[in-house]
Structure 1
Amino acid sequence: MGRLVVSTAPRGFHSLTDPVNRWLAENAAGDGLLTVFLRHTSASLVIQENTDPDVQADLVDALDRLAPEDIDYRHSLEGLDDMPAHVKTMLTGVSLQVPVVGGRLDLGTWQALYLTEHRVQGHQRSVTMHYFGT
């Protein structure tokens, strides 16, 4: 088991693919399954397009339309972006299971593993990783 701490910039996608593959190599992973769990309620984990940054920008815009900041939410103690961030996390999730083949994430050609920051300001985010395999 391991933990990765990520400093996020404001709202957007932060690739975890390389640091997770390094962690797998350091732990002599072979073939198996990796569970990644994000220990926060206003950011999420996704597997998405890794080539065209317009995809990520469009996804941020789409999530903003699904959970806008200009609604009168009851929960607003941490700022106008906090409750929409909780909604976005509920829609996208905080845990993923990814096959590992030959010691690397078995992602498709155009895929990457991302931490998606839903808050306007960047944060320190903690990802727990658990590998099970040979």
Structure 2
Amino acid sequence: MRQAIHHLHVHARSRGLVDFTAQVREFVRETGIGTGLLTLFCRHTSASLLIQENADPSVRRDLERYFDAIAPEDPQRYEHDTEGPDDMPAHLRTALTQTQLSIPVEFGGPVLGTWQGIYLFEHRRHASTRDVVLHLIGE
């Protein structure tokens, strides 16, 4: 049994979904581990991780509009505003999604469906570089 760990820096220009599937595939390939379990962990409380459709960009736009509706920016709505009016909605969006994913690895690559991609979901308006830890265990 072998293990590999890597910190991947994912840059988001603004709020929305950033596809980083290619970087994940590259990490898995470079480890030489053929079969195992890949864990991805986002080390932030205002960004999250999703496995989502990667073929039709309207899916991502619809997701972003949905989260704007259920966790809107509204200074009258929230007590917490330490880092600005988009801070508390970002925390709510993260609470409704996830900061960790587990993906099986087979034949030296992550086992994803035909139309699945791995995304960082940035919930803040400003550009940010997020740290995602990749941990692969297997053989």
Q: TM-score range by the shorter chain?
A: over 0.9
Q: 1:73: Cα distance to partner?
A: 0.8
| Secondary structure of 2:24's aligned partner | helix
The correspondence of residues 14-25 of structure 1 with structure 2, limited to 5 A, is 14-25=18-29
**Aligned pairs, how many?**
134
What TM-score results when the alignment is normalised by the length of structure 2? 0.94
Q: Is the counterpart of residue 53 in structure 1 residue 39 in structure 2? A: no
Q: 1:88: Cα distance to partner?
A: 0.3
Distance in structure 2 (CA, Å) of the matches to 1:47 and 1:2: 19
Structure 1, unpaired ranges of 5+:
none
Distance in structure 1 (CA, Å) of the matches to 2:26 and 2:33: 10
**What is the one-letter code of the residue matched to 2:31?**
N
Q: Is the counterpart of residue 32 in structure 1 residue 36 in structure 2? A: yes
Q: Deviations over 1:5-31 (max 9, x none)?
A: 111110111112100110111111201
Q: 1:72: Cα distance to partner?
A: 2.4
Q: 1:103: Cα distance to partner?
A: 1.2
Aligned partner of 2:96 among 91, 97, 101: 91
- Aligned residue number for residue 132 of structure 1: 137
**Aligned-residue RMSD, C-alpha:** 0.8
Runs of 4+ in structure 1 displaced over 3 angstroms?
Answer: none
Distance in structure 1 (CA, Å) of the matches to 2:13 and 2:107: 32
Q: Deviations over 1:25-77 (max 9, x none)?
A: 11112011100000000000000000010000000000111101114211101
- Aligned residue number for residue 123 of structure 1: 128
Q: 1:89: Cα distance to partner?
A: 0.3
| Secondary structure of 2:8's aligned partner | strand
Structure 2, unpaired ranges of 5+:
none
- Aligned residue number for residue 81 of structure 2: 76
Distance in structure 2 (CA, Å) of the matches to 1:103 and 1:21: 9
| Secondary structure of 1:19's aligned partner | helix
**What is the one-letter code of the residue matched to 1:99?**
P
